[in-house]
Structure 1
């Protein structure tokens, strides 16, 4: 991809991240901590729905996109199995003799149950349509789809202040659902040419079988990864209640602004990687990508560690503790970001079962550590458990890729990430009360620059050459 395309793909995640940073204080000031915790449970369920009902066919769609000429047929084959399964499951759940909304949110409400299922179907469809736009390399369209849900939600939440609407969870969930539905209309319009053709296509059973062979091992892995990313919230919900969950949820939501970088990289990385696979992968090129990502992660981690103290200025007093929790919460997307290039060999060799192994092992580590740490340390314990679990996920994925593909140098990578992980755990346990701790983040970043000095110089030279050219 050229610089223009990269910029177009970057506008959406960056804009969405900025809108999230604006929206979060609105939610924190207008709604209770418990309602923020309930909103987290909604996100947990929506994440599970995508992991389970998609059957990971969106990943198979990405994997086969450059191999198949009929893109519309490929999309229909990707979407139909999971959509049928979702419809059947919805009908089954609706006849069960208990309240889904009470189980999840502690509120017995038919409206909440209805909004929940509307959100699940909307999220399912958006997931596939976003991959269509992404694989077509329509950067501005992709960016629009990233910004739209956040912008709609911010506009709807502003009505609370303008119209003096009662700030309760039903209102918050209604606004979230309406924003998602409006976003789906935009996605559908942007992909209308592909969708209109896809509806008329017949199912290629041979292609369906090949895609399911690739995707089904990823389903278990996807569910395990969902558990890995949400286990902390479930344990906090059961062991600490909605208030502690709300504080932790805000920390993870703030950390999601860092995940913007993850989103940009993933949007660019997977299409580029599989193009390289088709053309013949240069191992040296892959090594450069890995080292540049490590440097970027070191910079982001240190920057958040240095600036986290300013967060309480923008939040109500009942969210004390967010400033040190957020440093731990950013570790999760950053570990995943590094694992994208270091684990590339798994996708290249189509050995997707290794992602399942990494997710399950990390999930078990997370469950045990949450059980042990949350009763005594609350949200801090959940943060530490997730940091260590994601390190395990990253390690297994990296080592599996090195075994399946080529054994790239990893010693310096582990020095950097383990050092940052230890510093983060110390900060969380001490509740950021160690004097002059900011020095640690500066030293860690300078150490990473020293370890990858050659790559740093190369990057600087490339930037200079690009600026001179322009």
Structure 2
């Protein structure tokens, strides 16, 4: 267990430090930028971050699936990255052609076409960055992975602060910070891993590519649907509400993104570990305990955010954001938890099931957004986000169970129901909010008390468990 926790902490170090940097950056940006300006930057950031998911064609997931089986890592890297780069270049060319209308929709002005062009460069760099970071992750180089994660966050922060010091006070602070900060970090990453980028001996391997595409294309469709899911709320707010509501939504998203950083840290560590455990034929009880322990930690973080909401809100300058924190925690909570319950889909290579998973989440998102967002603005979009990601978790778990990989979800389901009730209470001004939230949190602790006893049993009988 100590070995397991040591590697987990190694992968978590970067995201935790990244969260600290975000906590410093959020109040600066939300104080200096109006809700409308922050809303524009939120829309841009949400869309650009999700674009690469359409370009990978699922080959990033195929790369991790084949990594432990393939000896020539450089060749595998280049085979996997080849098609995404081709697709990315084609998309970049199309973007240049339609830069003016894209700029007009995003920024209410056609004069920012140069930002659209820069975004295309950012996307191409992100594709390569993704495969290099996957290489570091699959080699389980925890500290090195964390180092680059922190480097990227620091660069974005430094560029943003420099722009503020030079007098910039609009959405471009966030936009340029994201673009140039990440490109600077990528330049260092590409230099240090330039051996992977040496294509002098590259020769396309149709057989390997076909194998990876067979595994990856269903995942591409699923990832594309997930990217749409992640963008629906901000797009609906942009079209059917106000930029101020979009800014309030974005402020809350920034706070709960701290959970997202921890989610990313866990996934970065867990995916290669889970693949290795599967190859080693580990007992299912190990997978179940990790899922239960993660639920316990996520529950504590969730209720901590709600109970200490006044303190949390010191980091956000928008009053309305406080009502959304609970609801907008669910995308990160449910996705992280589902990483422990969806493994049967990838282990069985039945990746086409992810398409049904994504559709199961996207449909309620569209429906709830359509019904609530035009009238209730940010709160309506937050309810849609909460509901859709609960469906994502349920669908991932259900289809994984259908493949033969699964375990009891009683604790998870009961806890999710109670957390949803707590998030709903906190979406409105309700008397005794803190007391009600604290009481619901205690009930969740009682439901999960079995996880505590399992922890004690592992400590007392470590020979019966193997978390290496």
State TM-score, norm by structure 2: 0.93
Q: Does 1:450 align with 2:446?
A: yes
Shift of 1:451: 2.6
Residue 113 of structure 2 corresponds to residue 114 of structure 1: no
Superposition deviation, residue 105 in structure 1: 2.1
Matches within 5 A, 1:191-206: 191-196=193-198, 200-206=201-207
| Contact 2:53 2:224 survives alignment (8 Å) | yes
Q: Distance in 1 between matches of 2:314 and 2:287?
A: 42
What does 1:70-149 align with in structure 2 at a 5 Å threshold?
Answer: 70-96=72-98, 98-108=100-110, 109-149=112-152
Alpha-carbon distance change, 403 to 97 in structure 1, aligned in 2, over 3 angstroms:
closer
Taking the aligned partners of 1:41 and 1:159, their CA distance within structure 2 comes to 22
Match in the other structure for 1:329: 328
Name the counterpart of 1:427.
426
Task: Determine if the alignment matches structure 1 residue 409 to structure 2 residue 408.
Answer: yes
> Per-residue deviation at 1:156?
2.0
The verdict on how the C-alpha distance between 1:79 and 1:380 changes in structure 2, with shifts beyond 3 A counting, is: same
Q: SS at the partner of 2:426?
A: helix
Deviating beyond 4 angstroms after TM superposition, the runs of 4 or more aligned structure 1 residues are: 460-466
* Structure 1, 227-236 or 289-298: larger mean CA deviation: 289-298
My pick for the range that moved more, 95-104 or 21-30, is: 95-104
Equivalent position of 1:357 in the other structure: 356
Other-structure match for 1:150: 153
In structure 2, what is the Cα distance between the partners aligned to 1:226 and 1:195?
A: 27
Deviations 1:410-432 (A, max 9, x none): 2232111111112212321xx2x
Query: Structure 1 residues 266 and 405 mapped into 2: Cα distance closer, same or farther (>3 Å)?
Result: same
Aligned-residue Cα RMSD (Å) equals 2.0
Alignment partners' CA distance in 2, 1:447 and 1:314: 29
How far apart are the structure 2 equivalents of 1:370 and 1:387? 11
Q: Is contact 2:362–2:388 with CA below 8 Å preserved after alignment?
A: yes
CA deviations on 1:331-387 (whole Å, 9 max, x unpaired) are 110011111111111111111111111111211110110010012211011111110
Aligned residue for 1:397? 396
**Closer, same or farther: CA 463–151 of 1 in aligned 2, 3 Å:** farther
Contact 1:145 1:187 survives alignment (8 Å): yes
Tell me how far apart the structure 2 counterparts of residues 409 and 118 of structure 1 sit (CA, whole Å): 46
Unaligned segments of structure 2, at least 5 residues: 463-468
Counterpart in 1 of 2:466?
A: none
Q: Please, which runs of 5 or more residues in structure 1 have no aligned partner?
A: none
Measure how far apart 1:460 and its partner are: 4.3
- State the partner residue of 1:216: 217
Question: Secondary structure in 1 aligned to 2:109?
Answer: coil
Deviation at 1:19, TM superposition (A): 0.5
TM-score between the two structures when normalised by the length of structure 1: 0.92
SS at match of 1:409: coil
**1:416-460 superposed Cα distances (whole Å, 9 cap, x missing partner):** 1111112212321xx2x2222223333333333323323212324
Q: Number of residue pairs matched? A: 459
In the alignment, what sits opposite 1:296? 297
Judge conservation of contact 1:72–1:201 (CA < 8 Å) in 2. no
Name the counterpart of 1:240: 241
Q: Contact 1:76–1:199 (CA<8 Å) still a contact in 2?
A: no
The change in CA–CA distance for 1:465 and 1:106 in structure 2 (over 3 A counts) is farther
**Offset of 1:278 from its aligned partner?**
1.2
